[in-house]
Structure 1
Amino acid sequence: MNPEGKKLLNIVVLGFAFMFMFTAFQTCGNIEQTVLISFNSTTFHGTGYTSMAIIYGVFSASNLIAPSVITVIGPQLSMFISGLLYSAYIAMFIYPFTWSFYTASVLVGIGAAVLWTAQGNVLATNSSETTIGRNSGIFWALLQFSLFFGNLYIYCAWRGHDHITDKDHVTESLLQAESNDSSASYSSAQSGLCSQALDAFVKSCKLFITKEMLLLSTCIAYTVDFYSGVYGTSIGAMTRFGKDAKSLIGLSGICIGAGEILGGGVFGMLNKYIRFGRNPVVLLGLVTHFLAFFLIFLNIAQDAPVAPEAGTDLQAFITPSVGVALFCSFLLGLGDSCFNTQLLSIIGFMFKDNSAPAFAVFKFIQSITAAIAFFYSNYFLLHWQLLILVLFGFSGTITFFGAEWIAEKNRRNSDYDSI
């Protein structure tokens, strides 16, 4: 097999590995608020929103040391150990205690920082300027297949349930999928590991304040997981959707996955045929999300994200429609794939020589804003959350255009210098 074929195979293996790992975790994030508010116990008082806020808060802080960890032990072992931490978090749902649940949230936050920084390093080292867009799309599409399997189970298991039983807590924990690592090679020298680790940390700090990363930061901050942790919970809380409202959380996850896979596949495989660079794809993502937000505003009750276990009987501005709710799920997934594939592509291109520190900064920004978002999701009504997303989405798109202009300028200068 030629070198280019081996690199493509590495990306495919990486995508399948993450698909297996996140079959459990993404499904968990989609349903845990709904599950936990129904858990009646004198020993447990946690919430899914708080857990996700802890995860992403620790995730953001841990990104500062993630490049150093990868320098010392390599990306493959880093991803394997991180996968074990993800499995431990899911296992907490067998019988959760508040202290163990939040401790596991801290550990998975650390693991997530190392996992995603290693993923970015492997993606960049197995891509070139011409293949980074394709490889980002392929990886993203394979990863999002994880939304199908777990959410299909949730839809079937919860269909007809108007409340969550103890059995559902246990079966959620059994959704664990095997963790895996990629077969991509890592070529860092094994001598002077402490010096290399310190150098990786310093590079991360320096990259954080570069003009390019500052421009991308608003767009990165926008890509929080509203569609999984908050929107799924809101659908499940709508009693006007009938007794199958809880099972619709799983069906919503499947629709989100369909949008993610479609976007990742199309923008990955057709990347080289898209004119005017990455900007049209990001603009499509913004328009798609704005349409979804408008329909959600009309269709979902404002108190749905913070409704009690019994749900909400309030109505928004139209008669609640399951079809509209699931169509919005698809739009959220499609728009999310537009933003994330292009962010992976532009960061892999602009910071190819410092991929691990660059992706650590990317995940630092993304995770700290996600932590803030999940924290205020405990208190903010739906219309306020949608307003915040609209403001960040618009400003993030504008700043992405600026970063893409710089990337295109650098590419042209590089082509000119090589003549």
Structure 2
Amino acid sequence: MIGTTGYWFYVAANLKPNWYTLVPASLYLGFCASIIWVGQGTYLITTARSHATDSNFHEGTIIGNFNGLFFGLYALNQFIGNLIAFALLSNEGSTSSTTLLFVVFLSFVTFGAILMCFLSKRSSNSTKENKILGTDDDASESSSFNSLSRSLMSSLSDTKMLLIIPLIAYSGLQEAFVWAEFTKHVVTPAIGVSGVGIAMASYGAFDGICSFVAGRLTSVLLLLNFSIPSRFLGTSYILFMAALMGIGDGVLATQLNVLLAMLFNHDTEGTFAQLKIWQSTTIAMVFFLSPHISLQTFITIMLVFLCLSLFSFLWLTLKVGKKIIILH
């Protein structure tokens, strides 16, 4: 519930946007986002494992299904939210339409926070063991909290985590690229402020359809020689690129969470904390560097990072595959 308040205050700050409202709200949102997103990953994986155990299903299959469902709904949220933005910002961002947009978003955030009150707690294996051993839950949670910082540091000595960090960082890099660079340098000059909503709705609609390479790599290469063509062709071209990036992002987000859950099932909280640390770091770097580098320079950086991510992931695949062969 504390995690949801950050989003509420940030959206509310946009009703009166200035340095004194947006900067403190952004700082508080960063704190709250760390809570809610690490909690999301931990809760989803714990619930999936509990359901797999109770129903005697294969754990990996259930984790994949749960993550696919979550990020599918998350993509639907992007689609609907950006359609609302497109409809309300048809007056090219007038004060009244912008205010109405954030009031609508604030209502959705409030409703979402209320829904979180109905989340149920599933018993994990550690919880069951505590009950059997008679261990106090509060003491167990305190011990878990105290060991989290140590688990974060120890995970950095794990070769598998080191090999997957470039892919995690790239996932944050490509998200920030869509939010900051693509909307500012491509969508807005071509089809206006109101076009951002429809472009990002296209991004959300196709989020989670196809593979990481087929979507993301193709979109980045298309943008290297980007120039704004005629109105109709320009809009179609931008929507097509947004769809490709959405396709890549959906699969990357889903499979990355599943991969982390399967590789580091002994430390769910620490693993998803690492996920958000590296994603948030790259997102912050993009927004800080955005005013100082060109679109083509940023795209080149993304391509280099993509190659590094694919190389490290291939190395990880060979390492894990070799370990499985040895075990057999």
TM-score, scaled to structure 2: 0.83
In 1: Cα distance, 2:32 partner to 2:288 partner:
20
**Residue from 117, 140, 150 that aligns with 1:202:** 150
Report whether the alignment pairs 1:252 with 2:199: yes
- Alignment-mate amino acid for residue 299 of structure 1: F
Mapped contact 1:346–1:404 kept (Cα < 8 A): no
Go from structure 1 to structure 2 and tell me whether the alpha carbon gap of 1:413 and 1:262 turns closer, same or farther (over 3 Å shift).
Answer: same
Matches within 5 A, 1:11-26: none
**Which structure has greater helix proportion?**
2
In 1: Cα distance, 2:232 partner to 2:76 partner:
32
Matches within 5 A, 1:49-198: 80-125=1-46, 126-127=48-49, 128-159=59-90, 161=91, 163-174=92-103, 175-176=105-106, 177=108, 178=111, 179=113, 180-181=115-116, 182-185=119-122, 187=124, 188=127, 189-191=137-139, 193-198=141-146
Offset from partner CA, 1:363-407 (integer Å, 9 cap, x none): 101110111011111222110111111111111012112223333
In 2: Cα distance, 1:333 partner to 1:380 partner:
24
DSSP-derived class of the 1:183 partner? coil
* Offset of residue 137 of structure 1: 1.6
Matches within 5 A, 1:252-331: 252-263=199-210, 284-300=211-227, 315=228, 321-331=234-244
Show the counterpart of 1:75: none
TM-score, scaled to structure 1: 0.66
- Listed as ranges, the gaps of 5+ residues in structure 2 are 50-58, 128-136
How many pairs does the alignment contain?
Answer: 296
DSSP-derived class of the 2:93 partner? coil
Report whether the alignment pairs 1:233 with 2:188: no
Report whether the alignment pairs 1:351 with 2:264: yes
- Alignment-mate amino acid for residue 293 of structure 1: V
Go from structure 1 to structure 2 and tell me whether the alpha carbon gap of 1:133 and 1:398 turns closer, same or farther (over 3 Å shift).
Answer: farther
Matches within 5 A, 1:391-406: 391-406=304-319
Go from structure 1 to structure 2 and tell me whether the alpha carbon gap of 1:136 and 1:248 turns closer, same or farther (over 3 Å shift).
Answer: same
Go from structure 1 to structure 2 and tell me whether the alpha carbon gap of 1:186 and 1:407 turns closer, same or farther (over 3 Å shift).
Answer: farther
- Listed as ranges, the gaps of 5+ residues in structure 1 are 1-79, 264-283, 301-314
* Offset of residue 192 of structure 1: 5.1
In 2: Cα distance, 1:220 partner to 1:369 partner:
9
In 1: Cα distance, 2:323 partner to 2:40 partner:
25
In 2: Cα distance, 1:97 partner to 1:333 partner:
31
In 2: Cα distance, 1:164 partner to 1:248 partner:
11
DSSP-derived class of the 1:94 partner? coil
* Offset of residue 229 of structure 1: 2.9
In 1: Cα distance, 2:44 partner to 2:324 partner:
20
- Alignment-mate amino acid for residue 183 of structure 2: G
Go from structure 1 to structure 2 and tell me whether the alpha carbon gap of 1:144 and 1:184 turns closer, same or farther (over 3 Å shift).
Answer: farther
* Offset of residue 121 of structure 1: 0.9
Identity %: 22
